[in-house]
Amino acid sequence: MSLRIDMPILIGLVFIAIILAAGTSYTMVTQGTATFVSPNYLLQQLHFGAFLGMTAAGMMMVILLGHIDLSVPWTLTTCAMVATAVGGVGGDVTGLLTGLLIGLVNGIGVAVLRVPSMIFTLGINTVLLGLMVMLTGGYAPQNEATDVMLFLGRDRTLGVPHSVVVWLAVSAAVIFVLTRTPLGRYMYAIGNQEAAAYLSGVRSRLVIIAAFVMCSLCAAIAGLSLAGYSSRAFQAMGDTYLLPSIAAVVLGGTNILGGQGRYSGTVVGVILIVLLQSMLSIMQMEEAYRQVIYGAVIILMLLIYSRSRKQASA
């Protein structure tokens, strides 16, 4: 409602500025150019970062409820594989429907059967992996991405990657749901106190199912565009999205226990992680150091948050 900027978002923005400054001074020193802040380079980073952005948007839906979706990696992969296997526009639709179905199953397991989401989605992830291994015989599928996927994931218009536009569209939808609809309000309510929401006449099971469906749909969209970016779907294409998407959501200030968080924070979290990764790669940092720095930055930011929270409450 009000346009206040939360502490985590502020800290995230400061970190983004630091990363931009550090990356730029590095390229200034080594190459004599400010490659890191050139619009071209940043757009290129966003082109690829958009896939993480879509995944994180979905992840935020379930984290807001105090749940988590560990099936995101293979939901993303499955949808992409199914879509490329079917091919054509029918393939794109089938891919999205697959995502919807997976979300439905996750939601039912968590909301109706009341299995902890952590473990239920883990099981679904394994089942999906198994299904895909079964379908492809363990080999990389040879199907090409459909035209729609190529358009969404690979192509650009006037230099703007379409994947960024897709991310913007997903973001707009998420913001609309979270701030304008009863569904969004109910999601926050359930994340804070499910019993109170239920006693207020909220159909909490439906809301939880809806959140899981939205999460899987976001993963499906990310999967389809990513397949377009790489021209095909491949095994384990989603594996590198699970932990960064959770990290992006949490770095954006969403409470991992649910109920609190703003979508703008998640966007900041995604950009932060994408820039951090690209700064480390532009510095030609070894993978080993990249991992260490990546982890250390997350810890550092979280420590700063918890300190600022403590001061705010004192």
Partner 1 sequence: MNSLRLFFTQNLGLLLAILMFAVLYSTYASLHPSFGMNVVLQNGNETLALILVGMAQTMAVLVGGLDLSVGPLMTLTNCFGSIVMAGTGGSIVLGIIACMALGAACGFMNGCIIVYGRIQPIIATLATGAIFLGLALLLRPTPGGAIDGDFAWAFTNDINELGYTYGWWEDLGFLGKIPMQPIFLVAIILLVWVPYKRSALGRGAYAIGSNAHAAYMSGVRIDRSKIAAFTLAGFFAGCAGIYLTMQMGSGNADAPQAAEYTLRSIATVVIGGTSLYGGVGGVIGTIFGALVLRSISFIFRVVPESAALGFVASPLLQPFFEGLILLFAVSLGAARVLRVRNRLSLFT
Partner 2 sequence: MTDAPSPHYLQMQGISKNYGGVQALSDVAFSAKRGSIHAVLGENGAGKSTLIKIISGVVEPTTGTMALDGSAVSFRSPLEASAAGVACIFQELSLMPDLSVADNICITDPPRTRLGLIDGRAQRRRAEELLAKVGCEDIDPRERINALSLSRRQMVEIAKALGRNPTLLILDEATSALTSTDVSKVYSILHGLREEGLCLLYISHRMHEIEELADTCSVFRNGQHIETFSKGAKTDDEIVQLMIGRDWSNVFPEKPKRNAAPAPALDVEDLTWLPALKHISLSVGEGEIVGIGGLDGQGQRELLLALFGVLRGVHGTIKVHGKPANIDAPATAKRPEWGLALIPEDRKTEGLMLPMSVAENITVAALPWLSKGLVIDQSAEAKKIRQMVERMQIKVGDLNAPVSTLSGGNQQKVVIAKWLLTGARIILLNDPTRGIDVGTKQEIYQLLRSLAADGAAILFYTTDYDELIGCCDRVLILYDGAIVRELTGDDVTETNIVSSSLNLPVEGVA
Rule CB under 8 A: which residues touch partner 2?
A: 1-2, 180-183, 185-186, 188-189, 192-193, 195-203, 259-260
Cβ pair 161, 40 in contact under 8 A: no
Q: Which does 122 bind (CB under 5 to 8 A by kind): partner 2, partner 1, none?
A: partner 1
Q: Which of 207, 246, 275, 282 binds partner 1 (CB under 8 A)?
A: 246
Does residue number 291 form part of the binding site for partner 1 (CB under 8 A)?
yes
Q: Which helix (H) or strand (E) holds 160?
A: strand 160-161
Does residue number 243 form part of the binding site for partner 1 (CB under 8 A)?
yes
Q: How far is the CB of 93 from partner 1 (least distance, A)?
A: 25
Can you tell me the distance from the alpha carbon of 268 to that of 245, in angstroms, rounded to the nearest whole number? 12
| Residues 270/258/103/206 CA torsion (nearest 10 deg) | -140
Does residue number 120 form part of the binding site for partner 1 (CB under 8 A)?
yes
Total residues contacting partner 1 (rule CB under 8 A)? 54
Q: With respect to partner 1, which residue has the nearer C-beta, 58 or 228?
A: 58
Q: Please identify which residue in the block is written with the tokens 């952590």.
A: 118
Q: How many CB atoms lie within 10 A of CB 255?
A: 16
Binding piece for partner 1, criterion CB under 8 A, among 18-26, 29-37, 88-96, 303-311: 303-311
Q: With respect to partner 2, which residue has the nearer C-beta, 2 or 40?
A: 2
Instruction: Provide the terminal-to-terminal Cα distance of the chain, rounded to the nearest Å.
Output: 26
Does residue number 195 form part of the binding site for partner 1 (CB under 8 A)?
yes
**Residues contacting 160, CB < 8 A, separation 6+:** 43
Binding piece for partner 1, criterion CB under 8 A, among 15-23, 148-156, 224-232, 246-254: 246-254
What totals of helices (H) and strands (E) does the chain contain, helices first?
Answer: 13, 2
Q: With respect to partner 2, which residue has the nearer C-beta, 286 or 309?
A: 309
Does residue number 122 form part of the binding site for partner 1 (CB under 8 A)?
yes
Tokens describing residue 304: 């700063």
Q: With respect to partner 1, which residue has the nearer C-beta, 110 or 215?
A: 110
**Residues contacting 232, CB < 8 A, separation 6+:** 84, 140, 141, 142, 143, 144, 145
Q: What are residue 156's DSSP bridge partners?
A: 161
Tokens describing residue 113: 């059967």
CA 158, distance to chain mean position in Å, is 26
Q: Which of 56, 64, 247, 272 binds partner 1 (CB under 8 A)?
A: 247
Q: Which does 260 bind (CB under 5 to 8 A by kind): partner 2, partner 1, none?
A: partner 2
Supply angle C-alpha 59, 112, 206, rounded to 5. 60
Q: How far is the CB of 199 from partner 2 (least distance, A)?
A: 5
In the complex, which residues of this chain contact partner 1 (CB under 8 A)? 70, 109, 112-116, 118-120, 122-131, 133-134, 137-138, 194-195, 198-199, 236, 239, 243, 246-247, 250, 256-257, 286-296, 298-299, 302-303, 306, 309-310
